[in-house]
């Protein structure tokens, strides 16, 4: 499920210094092709469905990422570029208020037209425009290359959402459709090794190296971390089954107040997509309905569930800075590529945070409230997109993403 071209690592630091145009074209074409590859197994009907308010139709993802390049790259910087369809700006803007009015998010599934084929034509039209801009733009036009790089990373984020959103849609179908019959979850590494001890000390966190980073990863700054122990491995399904058998979903003393309200309102008894059938636990995956693998890391849990499990285990979740310092040591198993890992840190700006200029400043900063930080990367994250300073964020009740947990302990 991973892109073959690692945008984050090559061409490295593209926005900071001009690279050969061929490298830009390869990066652009690789990312755009990965979006097409992820959409390829889906029918037109699959691509039109919106299964909940937090999800979007696959067709919308394909069109929105194209609109991003058109609105922020081509229209400001390519004088000869002509709109494919001026109405698309209203249909496929997401939350960029400065970019103009937009269709309401909960109603994206009602956009039956343009068709899947027309969205494909739109993508081809914008691709041609971007290729021409890459050929024509002068090396010193830093804003062009910066916006192009943001656009590539933005599309990679939507590639992950395409898989999480279609999985949620398929999970609502009683026939349990298969996205990819050959899909297999990545094998987690050996969980042996216990905990990594971090002595108390001052560490630099945040993005402080060459290469791309979103504005919410900057500026790098110093923090006090430790003493703390971080689990080298992820929480596994067999541990979660023990939590379930011990009545974890029935003990309000384990839960935050809002978490317990979610348990009662949503009637949670297990992680998302789990279902018990004839005494066996099954889970909905991109490869269809599968038996739970006891040795696999638990997936599709909310922050509330991760926090309750940690309390049940006599541990807690790490802060995002504890996680980052531990991950930089290289001693954490499955730091990325399996599941995003909830931290106990609220999503907030770093000291000295500055959003990108203009409408792109709406990308991260205005969401810095009421959400929790996740670190790492998941099996749906395109290769090269994640990095140790990457900050993902979701509301604490969200569990349709590939989210799991890693424990921490202050007891020493």
User: Which residues of the chain carry a pLDDT beneath 50?
Assistant: 1-18
Q: Are residues 119 and 250 in the same domain?
A: no
Q: How far apart are CA 361 and CA 72, in angstroms?
A: 12
Residue whose C-alpha is closest to residue 63's, from 144, 170, 157, 158: 158
Q: Could you tell me the sign of the dihedral formed by the alpha carbons of 339, 344, 345, 346, in that order?
A: positive
- Domains of the chain: total: 2
Return phi, psi of residue 67, to 5°: -55, -40
Task: Give the predicted TM-score (pTM) of the model.
Answer: 0.94
Domain with 370 in it: what CATH number? 3.90.1580.10
Q: Could you tell me the sign of the dihedral formed by the alpha carbons of 232, 238, 241, 242, in that order?
A: negative
Q: Are residues 237 and 381 in the same domain?
A: yes
Q: Is residue 84 in some structural domain? A: yes
Q: How far apart are CA 374 and CA 302, in angstroms?
A: 11
Q: How far apart are CA 205 and CA 136, in angstroms?
A: 38
Q: Are residues 36 and 135 in the same domain?
A: yes
Amino acid 322: pLDDT:
98
**Residue range(s) defining the domain that contains residue 40:** 21-171
Amino acid 10: pLDDT:
40
Amino acid 327: pLDDT:
97
Amino acid 9: pLDDT:
39
Q: Are residues 85 and 158 in the same domain?
A: yes
Q: Are residues 312 and 347 in the same domain?
A: yes
Q: How far apart are CA 75 and CA 89, in angstroms?
A: 11
Q: Are residues 309 and 405 in the same domain?
A: yes
Q: How far apart are CA 153 and CA 65, in angstroms?
A: 10
Q: Are residues 217 and 152 in the same domain?
A: no
Return phi, psi of residue 274, to 5°: -80, 145
Amino acid 19: pLDDT:
59
Amino acid 1: pLDDT:
32
Domain final residue pick, 155, 171, 187: 171
Q: How far apart are CA 49 and CA 342, in angstroms?
A: 28
Amino acid 20: pLDDT:
78
Q: Is residue 166 in some structural domain? A: yes
């Amino acid at each position: 499920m991973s892109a073959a071209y690692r945008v984050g690592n090559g061409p490295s630091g593209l926005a900071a210094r001009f690279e050969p145009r061929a490298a830009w074209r390869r990066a652009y074409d690789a990312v755009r092709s990965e979006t097409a590859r992820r959409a390829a197994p889906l029918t037109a009907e699959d691509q039109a469905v919106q299964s909940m308010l937090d999800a979007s139709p696959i067709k919308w993802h394909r069109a929105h990422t194209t609109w991003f390049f058109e609105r922020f790259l081509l229209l400001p910087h390519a004088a000869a570029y002509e709109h494919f369809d001026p109405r698309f700006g209203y249909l496929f803007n997401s939350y960029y208020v400065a970019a103009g009015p937009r269709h309401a998010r909960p109603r994206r599934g009602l956009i039956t037209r343009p068709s899947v084929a027309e969205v494909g034509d739109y993508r081809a039209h914008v691709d041609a425009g971007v290729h021409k801009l890459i050929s024509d733009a002068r090396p010193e036009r830093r804003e062009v290359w910066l916006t192009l790089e943001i656009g590539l990373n933005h599309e990679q984020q939507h590639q992950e959402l395409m898989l999480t959103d279609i999985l949620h849609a398929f999970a609502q179908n009683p026939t349990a459709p298969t996205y990819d019959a050959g899909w297999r979850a990545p094998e987690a590494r050996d969980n042996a090794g216990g905990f990594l001890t971090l002595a108390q000390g001052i560490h630099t966190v945040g993005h402080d190296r060459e290469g791309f980073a979103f504005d919410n990863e900057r500026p790098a700054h110093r923090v006090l971390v430790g003493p703390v122990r971080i689990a080298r491995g992820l929480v596994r399904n067999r541990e979660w089954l023990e939590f379930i058998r011990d009545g974890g979903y029935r003990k309000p003393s384990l839960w935050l107040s809002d978490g317990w309200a979610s348990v009662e309102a949503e009637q949670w008894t297990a992680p998302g997509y789990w279902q018990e059938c004839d005494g066996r636990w099954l889970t909905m995956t991109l490869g269809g309905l599968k038996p739970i693998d006891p040795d696999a890391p638990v997936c599709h849990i909310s922050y509330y569930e991760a926090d309750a499990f940690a309390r049940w285990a006599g541990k807690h979740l790490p802060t995002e800075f504890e996680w980052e310092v531990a991950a930089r040591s290289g001693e954490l198993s499955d730091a990325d590529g399996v599941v995003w890992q909830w931290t106990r840190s609220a999503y907030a700006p770093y000291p000295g945070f500055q959003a990108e200029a203009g409408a792109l400043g709406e990308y991260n900063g205005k969401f810095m409230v009421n959400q929790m930080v996740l670190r790492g990367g998941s099996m749906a994250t395109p290769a090269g997109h994640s990095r140790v300073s990457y900050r993902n964020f979701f509301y604490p009740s969200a569990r349709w993403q590939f989210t799991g947990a890693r424990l921490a302990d202050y007891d020493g």
